[in-house]
Amino acid sequence: MKDKCGVFGIFGHEEASWLTYLGLYALQHRGQEGTGICSTDGRRLHVHRDQGLVAEAYRGETFQHLPGHGANSTSGAGSLSNLQPLLASYRDGTIALAHNGNLVNARELHEECEHLGSIFQTTVDSEVIVHLVARAKPPDLGGRLLQALSRVRGAYSLVALTPDRMIGIRDPHGFRPLCLGKLDRAWVLASESCALDLLDAEYVREVEPGEMVTVTQEGLETRRFGGDASRSECIFEHVYFARPDSRAFGRGVNEVRVRLGRQLAREHPAEADVVMAVPDSSNAAALGFSQEAQIPLEHGLIRNHYVGRTFISPSQNLRNLGVRLKYNAVREVVEGRSVVVVDDSVVRGTTSRSLMRIVREAGARAIHFRVSSPPVKHPCYYGIDMPTYDELVANQRTLEEIRDYIGVDSLGYLSTEGMLRAVRGEDASGACAACFTGEYPVRWKRAPSKSDFEVETPEKV
């Protein structure tokens, strides 16, 4: 299963679990359905996991039950049975594993382990990895992990915790980000650098693709594995997923997005009175477009951040209510004008369609919709939660059909080349852009599915 989430760990600090809780706030945008923290006091592991947002899942007393100087955690997906970190005992000890990514051969490995007599209690990939660790031969945890991961194919950024150490690992392709920081004498691992900033921890560097860093009381050691796999850093992190104040894959996200917007303006200029963003994820791209196109930027769409789960009247017929609750147009910015609306990406197209209707009803004379990435035409099998082919608006539709569906006067997607150059400069080869191109860096035998497992675990209700 796709483990869309943020991972975090800290080792060597007396308030480890409390700091990891703060770190989760900074990674909340990576997953909102469930969260967990596991801590070590040197002898045992302690865990708290629950559904919901970080702000809902922990209380003051929780941290009394999470003592110790080391902790790892996730904020991410989560039915009650699938909450991470996954905590298990095996022959030589106990381990808590937090995983961001997606394994393409999880199903085969799952079956292989079952064939050897293992049982599975969740559908998260972490469990597959822990099974392989338990079956690995080397006597040390590092060796076990590397042997286990030699069987695994796909995307994984891991933070593992045992009673006496924390280990951070990125897969040899480096699909998902993971960075290393320092807070006084403690080492910190986090999906994005914004979590380091929150703790006032120093950003040290990315964990490299194919690198395993091990932190103990003695300090940090590093090991390389995975041979010379091609680097395949997820382009979608820069396009949409990461926070703009983060560094991801060594590049500032905000900066990259401004370049995407500039490149978009060069590729798809528009005659318009004003440029506006779909807030907040497209703010930077819209700014870049405005700068390059020399068309003034204005705040034409406002986002309401208070909206959570809402109740729908059975007989309700308010069109686009979900989108309306989240966005509103600023009439005086839009009315009677030709507007460029910049969005970072279009997946299903339904939100774009509703949003453009709101812009149209606010009086726009013409709408030029510009997208700072290419059409999403393929699912992601490496950890981004995307729908199947059927639900992608760009699947088997021409540009003209998409324009018509969304309801705009003109439509421009950034080219793949333009995107890669804007994001990575000369290093375009190091990126995974499979959702745009269909060129999957890591293949599979059987098509990965959303659920590799027959047991359906409904949400807590």
Torsion of CA 149, 150, 151, 152, to 10 degrees: 50
Q: Within 10 Å of residue 219's Cβ, how many Cβ atoms?
A: 10
Element (H, E) at 234: strand 233-234
Q: Residue 378 CB, nearest distance to its own copies (Å)?
A: 28
Per the CB < 8 A criterion, the answer to whether 44 and 227 are in contact is no
Q: What residues does 40 pair with on adjacent strands?
A: 45, 70
Residue type, 179: C
Nearest to 355 by CA among 310, 407, 305, 390: 407
User: CA angle, 225 as apex, 221 and 230 as ends, to 5°?
Assistant: 130
Nearest to 209 by CA among 241, 253, 240, 249: 249
Per the CB < 8 A criterion, the answer to whether 16 and 71 are in contact is yes
Q: Could you tell me the two tokens for 460? A: 């807590």
Q: What residues does 219 pair with on adjacent strands?
A: 216
Residues designated as active site: 5
Instruction: Find out whether the peptide bond into 171 is cis, omega within 30 degrees of 0.
Output: no
Residue 27, classified by CB atoms within 10 Å of its CB into exposed (0-12), middle (13-18) or buried (19+), is buried
Q: Residue 181 CB, nearest distance to its own copies (Å)?
A: 13
Collapsed DSSP state (helix, strand, coil) of residue 254 = helix
Residue type, 422: A
